[in-house]
Structure 1
């Protein structure tokens, strides 16, 4: 079954913080105990201080006041000080509780993002899924959607707890003061909440549309920025940025619809609550006329009606946050449901104890959807042999590289290293021992050293030796910080040829047992390429090497040349033999550079 992230699992993650949860709940109770009595204090003085009806509260306050302060001014002043103190304490407890919930929510999101689900999941998702998703979509899941869940867990739930306790506490006091009037109030609140939930269901899908449009905009923005150099060079920034503008307009339109309709729903529910307050006011005044409810108690009831607005609105807004978080959870689960890369057991290691190994391909078939690329390919490369593969673009050369590394899976056929099927070796073992240098290598916005080592432990001496082989050492020495110089995003501070040579040095530093060079020197001038081949020949001696090339200078480094045509090997021999066969050479290699 595919991984899924559910509210039950989020709850399980939250229970890892039992102590923090218990403490947050206790703090919420203290905040409620401080805030709930506040509306009751000053209004009750109306009966005893202003109307002279009873003296229970006055006798209690006399214990804390000197005789000279036992007056209306002193009583009101003391009650005011108590009110301000309680408000201050409620604020402190609310802030502390919000802090505890913030820590809890951030750790839950961290566990989802890093330790539990998403980052681990990214390790296993098949390359084809990445190609269809795009980096912008994945980034949206890892950032925007998780922020939505984070906000729901941290901000909303912390307020929810205090709001719920405040309503319960208020209900208890109202029941104590006058149970008939309290019953009317408490019965009306569920009706308001129910009506608001129904309104919320009508607008929840709008938030999903807004988030989906934001994801599409992020994807388009990422793709445009990644290709900005080529876009500007072709003077096509108007088209691509215009297309980006259309995506932004779509985000705006959905956001406008979502925001105003959600706001209208909130205002409608607020209007219902205001209607209720008006009804309660009238009911309270009638109760004073026809029961023992005092004027001070009536004012206290009015105060609690206003006091309840905030907690009730927070409870009502919880549904919108829940809908948004539920939509984010659904999109994250779509990422988790993506197809896995095959996980082979890796029971045999043909590379262990060997300087290099042979490569054997039998009956290999692969197609992109309905377009066949390789059809029954048979290929054998002896251990230590250098083989060049040439042919027209789109002939399946680079696809073969992807298949050898297990990045794509063939529809039929088998790949063996050292006589052992790839499935028995395991992808991790293959990739630890087989290194590839691509025509357009990926470089990170980091130092030269970081781009060389790729997280491996390598000392500076080995780094410089690899750079010497790649004919890049002198260039790096001239940089301001040498190995610690930052190459920029995608290596923008290096030329195309320097990026390729840095990738070659990275391969050398990995010290693989099998090497694949896929147009690895296409951006080099003739002199630099010649020097690089001289350095590489010494390094590659005795290592099985597959060279994908369109340049005769690269083909000359091979012991044997294979001609790809129609997804199969049409011809093979050494480069001199192929040159001698002029007709075949002209048909297949007329585009090669001499």
Structure 2
């Protein structure tokens, strides 16, 4: 529920207020991309074997290209010294050799493209898999402090760069570099004095490239970082459209202003990157023009010593050098800026991991054999420097007990679940399940031993069968039996494909109550010794609530059930009630005994909700 915005009331929201802020600012590297990132990408493409193979292909390709040009130059030069008959007599040989060299060069181009593409795909797949694996095992604090838009940006923008842009830049850079080296070498070989001009110009090229690459790299990083909050804002606005509209035009305009601000920040970085590229291109073209002028003057000066074929060849390569120098520096800059993507992917690959998922030898496969729970002086916080949300909590729950957990908002009810499932590690104390310290058990083993029915069940897109039985551990009869117990057979039978029917994104084709029942059916299939209901009935109608309570009483009769209550009537028949207040266990006893005290937090809550008469009537009947 929400309260629509009243324009007559003062606005209490302050966009600049950062107190209690959970999401942290995205980290941004500075300076050159570290050698570790280059080394990681180098290993991802296949290491020395792949890189040396690609370079050998590049050398062979460019060698064949230069050889064909030299052969053509020599062939055309013989026209001035041979008679027509002699020239025609050698034509077949010249054509055959030139064709073979040209075809060989073309074949090597195809092989080069395939080799670079294959290496890029290999690197992309490995880096994507490593990042996905790391995030699936990441500590929950990571997801609390990093919004979904930021994570999506890594999996979309950065992975897209690693998929396509980076291999393309890498292949183009190598291609331009080898063309430049062979063209430069051929030109210097023909006109050695030209090296006195070209070599200093190479140094000037290098200096300009060094000046350009630094701001270009930082602007690329800034562009990617400003993309994350933009994506997050759009995603959150779409999800909360109904709520935003309900609060009136003022809130809509506020969201529009925030969107415009984030778009402007993102575009500032992009425009800055384009301006830097224009600055670089203008200066490089000026130097290229000077280099071409020096080459032309050298050819004119040595025209009496060179054949027409060699003059044409050198002039062609001089044109290549001027163009390739600019392209090579540009591609190196683009390559280094593109390396920001694997740098950001590597950052998520190295996130802090949860405790080991499975620890062998600690508990048997049938653990837990009962549903006993013990909290021994447990303190809990969400982040290392945050205040404690559970403070020295101690209690014991016998196997099969039905416990209601109540308290006002922020009392620590849901934090108890977080500590029990080791979503975050406890600050001090110990949690025991069936006599075993939960901290010694792998988190996967621990969480599989319990079932939880949250207030808002998450249903992934897929089939109903895949949701109920993701590991194909149960028969169709068992699935239908579980659906029958939660009174969902009628709803599922209406679907054309029954168990193979499709669940839409977030379970949109099911109501909240139906999602609760499907979640309950899944818990029934697992037959867990411990079941936690985290305010599971807060958002469902009375009829669904009654069905849910009936299933709990009958199907989980032998299981330990912890019910975090939003409505007190759902826990009035519990064996005991735990009352939390400001992170401490304030009261713990049977409902009737707590009411009999005539005061206390639970008494006040029942009095406010009008439940006193019902509890007293239940106690009288007992």
Q: TM-score range by the shorter chain?
A: 0.7 to 0.9
Residues 117-168 of structure 1: CA deviation (Å, up to 9, x unaligned): 3122113321111110122222222332233344465212222333233233
- Superposition deviation, residue 110 in structure 1: 0.9
Q: Which residue of 2 aligns with 1:335?
A: 348
Q: Pick from 136, 154, 160: which aligns with 1:123?
A: 136
Matched position secondary structure for 1:372: coil
Distance 1:593 1:183 in 2: 97
Residue in structure 1 matched with residue 515 of structure 2 by the alignment: 499
Pairing 1:35–2:62 present: no
- Return the alpha-carbon distance in structure 2 between the equivalents of residues 247 and 31 of structure 1: 47
Instruction: Note the 1:216-365 alignment, pairs <5 A.
Output: 216-234=229-247, 236-288=251-303, 292-343=305-356, 345=359, 347-349=361-363, 352=366, 354-365=368-379
The residue aligned with 2:405 is 389
* CA contact 2:375–2:395 (8 Å) conserved in 1: yes
Q: 1:65-104: CA deviations, max 9, x gaps?
A: 59xxxxxxxxxxx87x987886665444323311221111
Say if 1:365 and 1:413, in contact at 8 Å, map to a contact too.
Answer: yes
Number of the residue aligned with 1:486: 502
Q: Could you give the per-residue CA deviations for residues 413-436 of structure 1, whole angstroms, max 9, x where no partner exists?
A: 211111221112222211110111
Residues 555, 480 of structure 1: CA spacing in aligned structure 2 closer, same or farther, 3 A cutoff? Answer: same
Report SS of the residue matched to 1:159.
Answer: helix
Distance in 1 (alpha carbons) for counterparts of 2:544 and 2:163: 53
- Aligned partners of 1:15 and 1:417: how far apart in 2? 47
> Do the aligned partners of 1:551 and 1:593 also contact (CA within 8 Å) in 2?
no
Matched, 1:374 2:374: no
Residue equivalent to 2:225: 212
Maintained 8 Å contact 2:216/2:337: no
Q: Distance in 2 between matches of 1:61 and 1:580?
A: 119
SS at 2:354's partner residue? Answer: coil
Where do residues 436-451 of structure 1 align in structure 2 (5 Å cutoff)?
436-451=452-467
What aligned pairs does 1:557-568 form with structure 2 within 5 A after superposition? Answer: 557-568=573-584
In structure 2, relative to structure 1, the CA distance for the partners of 1:582 and 1:56 (3 Å cut) is farther
Q: How does 1:476-555 map to 2 (within 5 A)?
A: 476-555=492-571
How many residue pairs match? The answer is 571
- Counterparts of 2:534 and 2:344, CA distance in 1: 36
Three-state SS of the structure 2 residue aligned to 1:340 is coil
Aligned: 1:9 with 2:40: yes
The residue matched to 2:302 in structure 1 has which SS? helix
Q: For residue 36 of structure 1, give the secondary structure of its aligned residue in structure 2.
A: helix
C-alpha distance in structure 2 between counterparts of 1:476 and 1:233, whole Å: 34
What CA deviation, in whole Å up to 9, does each residue of 1:24-75 have, x standing for no partner? 44443343134334655666677554xx3x3499957623359xxxxxxxxx
Comparing 385-394 and 507-516, the one that deviates more: 507-516
Give TM-score, length-normalised by structure 2. Answer: 0.83
CA distance in 1 between counterparts of 2:85 and 2:160 reads 52
The SS at the match of 2:390 is strand
Change in Cα spacing, 1:406 to 1:589, as seen in structure 2 (3 Å) is same
After TM superposition, list the pairs within 5 Å mapping 1:156-195 onto structure 2: 156-182=169-195, 184-195=197-208
Distance 1:16 1:467 in 2: 53
- Cα distance between partner residues in 2 of 1:506 and 1:234: 38
Residues 272 and 176 of structure 1, relative CA distance in 2, 3 Å threshold: closer
Q: What is the deviation of 1:276?
A: 0.9
Distance in 2 between the 1:37 and 1:211 partners? 44
Aligned to 2:152: 139
Q: Distance in 2 between matches of 1:329 and 1:355?
A: 47
Which shows bigger deviation, 218-227 or 201-210?
A: 218-227
* 1: CA distance, partners of 2:343 / 2:606: 51
**Alignment partner of 1:520: what SS?**
coil
**1:170: Cα distance to partner?**
2.2
Residues 291, 322 of structure 2: 8 Å contact kept: no
Scaled by the length of structure 1, what TM-score is found? 0.87
Q: Distance in 1 between matches of 2:83 and 2:468?
A: 82
Greater shift in the superposed pair: 533-542 or 183-192: 183-192
Which SS does the other structure have where 2:287 is aligned?
helix
CA distance in 2, matches of 1:61, 1:423: 89
Unaligned runs of 5+ in 2: 1-34, 612-622
Match of 1:464 in 2: 480
Matched position secondary structure for 2:45: helix
Change in 2 beyond 3 A, CA 1:237/1:557: farther
1:155 paired to 2:155: no
Indicate how the Cα distance of structure 1 residues 388 and 182 shifts in structure 2: closer, same or farther if over 3 A, else same. same
Which residue does the alignment assign to 1:64?
91
- Cα deviation for residue 209 of structure 1 reads 1.1
Mapped partners of 1:404, 1:446: distance in 2: 29
Deviation by residue 1:517-546 (Cα, 9 ceiling, x = unmatched): 111122332222222222232221111111
Q: Contact conserved, 1:197 with 1:319, CA < 8 A, in 2?
A: no
Render the CA deviation track for 1:455-511: whole Å, top value 9, x for unaligned. 453332222222222232221221333222222221122212112222222222233
1:70 corresponds to: none
2:110, 2:228 → 1: CA distance? 33
In the other structure, the counterpart of 1:109 is 124
Match of 1:75 in 2: none
Distance 1:58 1:156 in 2: 49
